[in-house]
């Protein structure tokens, strides 16, 4: 089963980020043979003296090649000459896009005070704008004022786009007044994680190293939202280079408890959406960066299938794992936003153009719903709320099918792929020692990970990729028996596994813990089946009602 197309040149690229025997180590040692012996211990290898002697000339040649490679400056936007395709070529999917009847509310009542609109869903706001009960300009000004008011406490704003947003809102109102209606996102204010490029504006990656970087392009995701008539008001914070919630402006705070961080790395997107500073936001995930902050901040996050949403004009961390997706109040809102941003852009070679046939009127009882039985039996923090989630799903008339996920595959071992790719994406920081300028300098932070990843052998990266192929095959078997899976958010290694396999995930708030902070449940689906995923998640969400809870401190 061919799931990954890897050109021969990938070996050279990987050797940049995975120096099998480090040049500086050899330079300071007596002989290359001695250093080969030392390096064997790092890589779990064993060679004879004669074998070591035979390698000397070849390794000297490698060192010369490494030095040549290090002379080339590679921008973060330059991708490797290979494409990751998790879905087997023979896999069959719907080919026809049907017209979506969103079944939006027939009538939405204006609140007593306009500021209460800040916690309305995109679906509700779209009805009010279409019916001209509120203008985009009024709504945009409302969110801008809240961004100014609350950012000093939340530290979630990197760039406020006030002038651009006001102009976009005026354009939206003018079009709507002339009967030109672009759809449910027309006139809706939103924010993006600051790893998406917006031509002419700072593009910081959350790092002071890139604080003054100004891109010459605009991300297709933002372009598609522009075409949908949405109004971009803010570029939100992210943990530096997409890790955690600390950036050059400080710690992004959790609206439910501002003494705590919002988690990351889509820190500002989740925090700002939770606090009612935008109607929705765009985040990204490589390994939990939508799921984790959405959980902590009590919002709804969709991690789409790998290859569903353009990453052109986005900071690269892992070419085979990065994904862009919406963070909203509801699953219904996630569906509206996802429909606008999905599809090809003419540049990202990993993108597919498949239908999204979301049908709010579809009977979810026709779907096979699985649950990861072993995970729910474990002792963990969310267990009580998760048990109530299963109870609610059964009360909805769903027959839950017990399943297992392939924990026998060593997914943590495969995660070296992420570290190797991240080290390559920011190789120049290691080589120039600019990594010392980064905020976090602990063992588990990027600077140290980038350095240690230089010692991941190219051979082991490829072996990990082959095991990843086996993991993908195991998940194919799982989804032969079910359509949607309900799973504890932090159950087992499911979050890592499904990020490696490229499957979509939907994070839904499902209550509060003893500390008063939100908890969550995760729904999973097969590749490109965001429609059923969002349908089931939305049905549960409307029944459970936790999306209607908002942090008291930020209520109008």
- Count of CB atoms situated within 10 Å of the CB of 164: 16
> Is 60 part of the annotated catalytic residue set?
no
Query: Alpha-carbon distance 239 to 193, whole Å?
Result: 10
Beta-sheet strands, E only, within 237-272: 246-247, 250-251, 253-254, 257-261
Please list, residue by residue across 177-203, b when 16 or more beta carbons sit within 10 angstroms of its beta carbon and e when fewer do. eeeeebbbbbbbbbbbbbbbbbeebeb
DSSP secondary structure of 187-222: T-EEEEETTB--TTS---TT-GGGTT---SS--HHH
> Is 391 part of the annotated catalytic residue set?
no
- The one catalytic residue in 262, 274, 284, 289 is 289
Structure tokens at 290: 């939508």
CA distances, 543 to each of 297, 525, 546 (Å): 20, 20, 9
Query: Alpha-carbon distance 205 to 451, whole Å?
Result: 19
Q: Does residue 326 contact residue 338 with C-beta atoms inside 8 Å?
A: yes
Query: What does residue 256 show for φ and ψ, rounded to 5 degrees?
Result: -80, -25
- The one catalytic residue in 17, 121, 141, 193 is 193
Long-range residue pairs from 208-215, CB within 8 A, at least 24 positions apart, any chain: 208/248, 208/437, 208/439, 209/429, 209/434, 209/437, 209/438, 211/248, 215/313
> Is 193 part of the annotated catalytic residue set?
yes
- The one catalytic residue in 126, 265, 292, 427 is 265
116: region left, alpha or beta (phi > 0 left; psi from -120 to 50 alpha): alpha
Strands 189-193 and 518-525: unpaired
Residues involved in catalysis: 193, 265, 289
């Amino acid at each position: 089963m061919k799931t990954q197309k890897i050109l021969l040149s990938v070996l050279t690229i990987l050797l940049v980020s995975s120096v099998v025997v480090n040049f500086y180590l050899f330079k300071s040692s007596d002989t290359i043979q001695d250093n080969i012996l030392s390096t064997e211990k790092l890589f779990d290898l064993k060679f004879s003296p004669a074998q070591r002697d035979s390698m000397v000339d070849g390794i000297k040649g490698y060192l010369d090649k490494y030095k040549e490679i290090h002379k080339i400056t590679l921008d973060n936007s330059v991708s490797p000459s290979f494409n990751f395709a998790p879905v087997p070529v023979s896999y069959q999917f719907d080919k026809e896009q049907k017209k979506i009847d969103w079944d939006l509310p027939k009538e939405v009542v204006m609140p007593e005070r306009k500021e209460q609109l800040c916690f309305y869903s995109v679906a509700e706001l779209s009805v009010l704008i279409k019916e001209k009960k509120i203008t985009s300009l009024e709504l945009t000004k409302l969110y801008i004022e809240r961004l100014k008011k609350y950012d000093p406490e939340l530290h979630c704003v990197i760039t406020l786009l006030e002038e651009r947003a006001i102009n976009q809102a005026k354009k939206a109102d003018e079009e709507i007044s002339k009967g030109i209606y672009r759809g449910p996102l027309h006139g809706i204010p939103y924010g993006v994680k600051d790893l998406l490029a917006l031509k002419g504006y700072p593009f910081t990656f959350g790092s002071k190293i890139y604080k003054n970087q100004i891109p010459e392009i605009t991300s297709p995701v933002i372009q598609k939202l522009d075409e949908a008539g949405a109004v971009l008001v803010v570029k939100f914070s992210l943990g530096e280079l997409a890790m955690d919630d600390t950036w050059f402006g400080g710690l992004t705070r959790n609206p439910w408890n501002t003494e705590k961080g919002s988690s990351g790395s889509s820190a500002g997107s989740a925090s700002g959406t939770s606090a009612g500073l935008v109607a929705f936001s765009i985040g990204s995930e490589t390994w939990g960066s939508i799921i984790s902050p959405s959980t902590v901040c009590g919002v709804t996050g969709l991690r789409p299938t790998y290859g569903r949403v353009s990453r052109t004009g986005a900071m690269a961390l892992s070419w085979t794992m990065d994904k862009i997706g919406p963070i909203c109040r509801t699953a219904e809102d996630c569906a509206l936003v996802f429909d606008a941003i999905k599809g090809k852009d003419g540049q990202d070679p990993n993108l597919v153009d498949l239908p999204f046939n979301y049908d709010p009127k579809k009977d979810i009882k026709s779907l096979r719903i699985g649950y990861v039985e072993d995970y729910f039996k474990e002792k963990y923090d969310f267990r009580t709320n998760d048990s109530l989630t299963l109870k609610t799903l059964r009360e909805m008339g769903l027959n839950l099918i017990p399943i297992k996920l392939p924990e026998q595959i060593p997914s943590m071992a495969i995660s070296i792929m992420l570290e190797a790719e991240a080290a390559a994406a920011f190789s120049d920081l290691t080589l120039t020692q600019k990594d010392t300028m980064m905020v976090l300098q602990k063992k588990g932070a990027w600077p140290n990970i980038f350095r240690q990843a230089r010692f991941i052998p190219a051979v082991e990266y490829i072996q990990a990729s082959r095991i990843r192929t086996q993991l993908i095959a195991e998940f194919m078997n799982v989804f032969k028996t079910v359509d949607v899976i309900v799973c504890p958010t932090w159950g087992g290694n499911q979050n890592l596994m499904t990020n490696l396999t490229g499957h979509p995930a939907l994070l839904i708030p499902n209550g509060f813990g003893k500390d008063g902070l939100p908890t969550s449940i995760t729904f999973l689906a097969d590749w490109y089946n965001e429609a059923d995923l969002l349908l089931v998640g939305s049905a549960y969400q409307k029944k459970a009602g936790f999306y209607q809870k908002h942090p008291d401190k930020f209520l109008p």
